[in-house]
Amino acid sequence: MATITAAMVKDLRESTGAGMMDCKAALTESGGDMQAAQDWLRKKGLSKAAKKAGRVAADGLISALTKGTKGVLVEVNSETDFVARNDQFQGLVKMIAQVALEVGADVEKIKSAKVGSVTVETAIADAIATIGENMTLRRAASLEVGNGLVSSYVHNAVVEGAGKIGVIVALESTGKIDELAVLGRQLAMHVAAAKPFALDPAGLDPALVKREKDVLADKYRQQGKPENVIEKIV
């Protein structure tokens, strides 16, 4: 039987992020073979992840990433804000944004894309096993222009490019890139603050417009305004 040293446990822990006792068990099960121990931990981690999959992931982070004429937003959920402040989780979210910038905003394509020797989906499962909370890649969005650039803004970023509110703005233009970058960031900041429903009135949902008009009409009706005046006010 192979002798499992503290140095071996330390090396395995550093390479996998798993707990010390799990690392010791993995090395014992694999007879001291580091590669086999890593595989054992990954299988154990996927099992742990499956057990946690039913738990609600309602917190997490948004990551905004741009590169010239392309930009993406990804939302990765965790169970608690505590995990959202975890360095490993933050790194995972930013890594997923990098992948999305290459493959696009389709969640299934992102999850099946490879990072090194593993898929993004497996990387998420490994993080679940290591951190101990359920996590999900909830959604992604992307913008791209032929000429111009895509700007971004993250409100109250917990780490560069990641926070609770993220915005990307695409500017189609042949103007100077440095000037467009300033304008794009300003617009993105306004979007974060105002949370607009559409780019222009034509893009608004008619049902939303009707509901708002009804609310205003009832407000002025209760104030005793005549119907013809209410219509003009609304």
Whether the Cβ atoms of residue 140 and residue 112 lie closer than 8 Å to each other = no
Give me the residue label for tokens 């233009």.
Answer: 173
What are the residues whose beta carbons fall under 8 Å from the beta carbon of 200, sequence distance 6 or more? none
Residue 120: its H or E element: helix 120-131
Superfamily of domain 59-194: Elongation factor Ts, dimerisation domain (3.30.479.20)
**Which part of the chain has CATH 1.10.8.10?**
6-52
Which pLDDT belongs to residue 230? 92
Q: 7-11 contacts: CB < 8 A, separation 24 or more?
A: 8/32, 8/34
Residue limits of CATH 3.30.479.20 in the chain: 59-194
The interaxial angle of helices 120-131 and 34-52, nearest 10 deg, is: 80
pLDDT in tens, the chain (234 residues): 578 888 888 887 777 666 777 788 888 888 888 888 887 776 666 445 455 455 545 688 999 999 999 999 999 998 878 878 889 999 999 999 999 999 999 999 999 999 988 999 999 988 887 887 888 899 999 999 999 999 999 998 999 999 999 999 999 999 999 999 999 999 999 999 998 999 899 999 999 999 989 988 988 898 999 999 999 999
Tell me, what's the pLDDT at 149? 96
- Say which CATH topology domain 6-52 has: Helicase, Ruva Protein; domain 3 (1.10.8)
Of 151, 230, 135, the closest CA to residue 186 belongs to: 151
pTM of the model: 0.70
